[in-house]
Amino acid sequence: MIKTLNYKGFSTKFVLAKKVEEFLNENNFSIKELFLDKQTWYEVILFEKLDEDKDGVPDEKFGKIFEVVFYEVFTWKNQKEISLVKENLKEKNSLNTSFYVLTNGKEKVGVRNKLNYLFH
């Protein structure tokens, strides 16, 4: 599944690794919960990460084209993470790794993603 958000000259492609998408679908997790509205994604999350000098403007060195890859699903047991499915990614210009928590009503999992910047 791929979704693209465009906002104020910036573009971000969201990609679910095949193994992650299959796991989430087979276990009745809602994939749409992974995707924020574009204003929240850009103004609250991305632009904060791109403004290293804190002048209120995203730093030009990162460009304007980004990719978010959801590559791992994990759970917790005794306060430790246990990977359920993971797709190995090629190294890119990665800004950070974070995760979202999803629930299907019976169980809760974390879905880890990597934010990459793609040169303009």
Tens-digit pLDDT profile for the chain (120 aa)?
588 999 999 999 999 999 999 999 999 999 888 888 888 888 888 888 888 888 877 888 888 999 999 999 999 988 899 999 999 888 778 877 788 899 998 999 999 999 888 865
**pTM for this model (two decimals):** 0.86
Q: Which amino acid is at 17?
A: A
Quick check: 81 and 74 in contact, CB under 8 A? yes
Quick check: 42 and 10 in contact, CB under 8 A? yes
Q: Residues 6 or more apart from 80 whose CB is under 8 A from it? A: none
